[in-house]
Amino acid sequence: MAKLYFYYSAMNAGKTTILLQSAHNYRERGMNPMLFTPALDDRSDVGIIKSRIGLEAEATAFKQEDDLFEAVQNRLEDQNVHCVLVDEAQFLTREQVFQLTDVVDRLNIPVLCFGLRTDFQGELFEGSRYLLAWGDQLDELKTICHTGSKATMVVRVDDKGYALRKGSQVEIGGNERYVSVSRKEFKEVFYAGKQVRLIDPFETVVDSENERQDELLE
User: What's the confidence (pLDDT) of residue 39?
Assistant: 92
Quick one: 162 and 122 in the same domain? no
Please give the Cα distance from 208 to 58 (Å, whole number). Answer: 34
User: What's the confidence (pLDDT) of residue 42?
Assistant: 62
Quick one: 122 and 157 in the same domain? no
Q: Is 88 a catalytic residue?
A: yes
Q: How confident is the model at residue 207 (pLDDT cuts 50, 70, 90)?
A: very low
Q: Per mean pLDDT, which range of 64-68, 92-96, 100-104, 194-198 is the poorest?
A: 194-198
* Percentage of the residues of the chain whose pLDDT score is greater than 70: 85
Quick one: 188 and 135 in the same domain? no
Instruction: Please tell me the total count of domains within the chain.
Output: 2
Residue 211 has pLDDT above 90, yes or no: no
Domain C-terminal end among 113, 141, 169: 141
Quick one: 30 and 128 in the same domain? yes
CA atoms within 13 A on the CB side of 142: 12
Exactly one of 88, 126, 185, 188 is catalytic; name it: 88
* Percentage of the residues of the chain whose pLDDT score is greater than 90: 68
Quick one: 117 and 29 in the same domain? yes
> What is the three-class DSSP state of 213?
helix
Q: How confident is the model at residue 146 (pLDDT cuts 50, 70, 90)?
A: confident
Q: Which domain holds residue 194?
A: 144-217
Please give the Cα distance from 202 to 29 (Å, whole number). Answer: 32
Average pLDDT over residues 4-26: 94
Residue 29 has pLDDT above 90, yes or no: yes
Nearest to residue 189, comparing CAs of 200, 177, 201? 177
Mean pLDDT for all residues in the chain: 87
Domain C-terminal end among 118, 141, 164: 141
- CATH of residue 8's domain is 3.40.50.300
pTM recorded for the entire structure: 0.85
